[in-house]
Amino acid sequence: MSNPQKASRRAFVKTAAAVTASTASTPYFIHAEDKTGTKKAVIGTGEYTYECIHDWGMDSLPEGHHYGGATHGTAIDSQGLIYITHHGGPTSIFVFDDKGKFVKGMGKEHVKGNSARGHGIDIRKEGNSEFLYLSPNDSSMPFTKMTLDGEVVWNKDRKAIEADHGQGIGRYCPTNVSFRPDGGYYLGDGYGSNFIFQYDKDDKYVRTLGGGGAENGKFQTPHGQWLDDRDGTPKLVVADRANKRLQWFDMEGKHLKTLDGFLFPADIDLRGEVLLVPDLHARITLLDKNDKVIVQLGDDEEWRPKALAGFKMRGQRDQWLPGKFIHPHDACFDKDGNIFVAEWVVTGRVTKLVKVG
């Protein structure tokens, strides 16, 4: 869902500064003041209160590095490095340390011409090593397993997926992967067939879940998924985006339950008993162990129609307000309970939500 656009870092920083200056006095936010005197929005409530650091890491990007038409995915490795996928260049992944300093770019395999096609990204430790599982936003590119040093372990393209599935699958463009406790994983074909493909720890095909539809067990854009083991029993939970819901399945693929009430849920992360759901329609939802809403960060019924009108605001940086989201596309917790958010907006935007509650 991206329309890549080149933008220099200098121009970006100048624009961002202008936006911050023009909106610093808005009455809609509680503000905290840092040592530079710049006021940052604070959102949430109680234990789940966060200071918003918008455009986190942006000013450390080297010359010639940019997010293009969108930032897409977020992931954090065991050393605390943050990985962001995007549609800019010159690589499809930018890596930062926990202070927001640029470390390296990687993932040239998912670049076409002058535009990266980075989308889904997840990290798993296998033995003593960690690996990236990458789902690029281009049907001609393979689903890729890669080391943290950028070495490709294997690729699975459309032909391989169809051979595993046993027949043609029509449209194909995977969006995200999630992991099973037995070493297997799920690949969600969110922009393609609406199937989720299950593989075992040896990369052997096991089964296919879903397919297009609105009934329970079917999907319309299964954009992201995660392992939910909060009650001690592992389950697959799927962000069934265009159906505006989450669905849960057992480890054999049986549908267990459906939860409505979302706008356009894009992905899922989990920390302790809290489920994190970035919603492409301008908010982030936190659910408790009983799947009741704790808080919806950035949610504002007056702001949302403006942010969503024709999807134009994603390219109108001068309209963005602190403490408000436009299109949260992915989000993840770090070890301290802070949240990193990547938004589907032109020039990209990564927000660090620093836990202060």
Q: Above 50 in pLDDT, residue 2?
A: no
CA 28 vs CA 23, 31, 41, 300, 335: distances in Å: 10, 10, 9, 10, 30
Q: CA 3 → CA 104, 344, 349, distances in Å?
A: 24, 10, 15
Burial category of 98 from C-beta neighbours within 10 Å (exposed 0-12, middle 13-18, buried 19 and up): middle
Residue 9 has φ and ψ, to the nearest 5°, of: -60, -40
How far is Cα 298 from Cα 294, in angstroms, rounded to an integer? Answer: 13
Q: What is the mean pLDDT of the chain?
A: 91
One-letter identity of residue 221: T
Question: What would you report as the CA-atom Rg of the chain, rounded to the nearest whole angstrom?
Answer: 19
Cross-strand partners of 275: 270, 287
238/261 Cα distance (integer angstroms) = 14
Rounded alpha-carbon distances, angstroms, from residue 289 to 43, 226, 268, 274: 22, 15, 14, 6
Asked if 5 and 346 count as a contact pair (C-beta separation under 8 A), the reply is yes
User: What residue type is 168 in one-letter code?
Assistant: G
Confidence of residue 295 (pLDDT cuts 50, 70, 90): very high
Tokens 């702001």 identify what position? 303
DSSP 8-state secondary structure symbol assigned to residue 251: T
Q: Which helix (H) or strand (E) holds 304?
A: helix 303-308
What does the pLDDT average to over 75-95? 98
Spell out the domains of the chain, with CATH numbers in brackets. 9-355 (2.120.10.30)
pLDDT tens readout for residues 189-247: 999 999 999 999 999 999 999 999 999 999 999 999 999 999 999 999 999 999 999 99
Beta-bridge partners for 124: 131
Q: Following DSSP, what letter does each residue of 118-170 receive, concatenated?
A: --EEEEEEETTEEEEEEE-S-TTSPEEEEETTS-EEEEE-HHHHHHHHTS--S
SS3 315: helix
Q: How far apart are CA 105 and CA 83, in angstroms?
A: 9
303-340 tens-digit pLDDT: 999 999 999 999 999 999 999 999 999 999 999 999 99
Residues 43, 137: Cα–Cα separation, whole Å: 31
Q: Residue 31's pLDDT is what?
A: 37
Alpha-carbon span 163 to 169, nearest angstrom: 10
Strand partners, 188: 176, 196
pLDDT at 38: 63
Q: Nearest-CA neighbor of 57 among 68, 65, 49?
A: 65
36-45, 99-108, 319-328 — which is least confidently predicted? 36-45
Closest CA to 278 of 227, 229, 327: 327
In this prediction, residue 357 carries a pLDDT of: 86
Q: Tell me: the pLDDT tens digits for 149-161?
A: 999 999 999 999 9
Mean pLDDT, residues 256-274 taken together? 98
- The answer to whether the CB of 319 falls within 8 A of the CB of 313 is yes
- pLDDT bucket at 39, cuts 50 / 70 / 90: confident
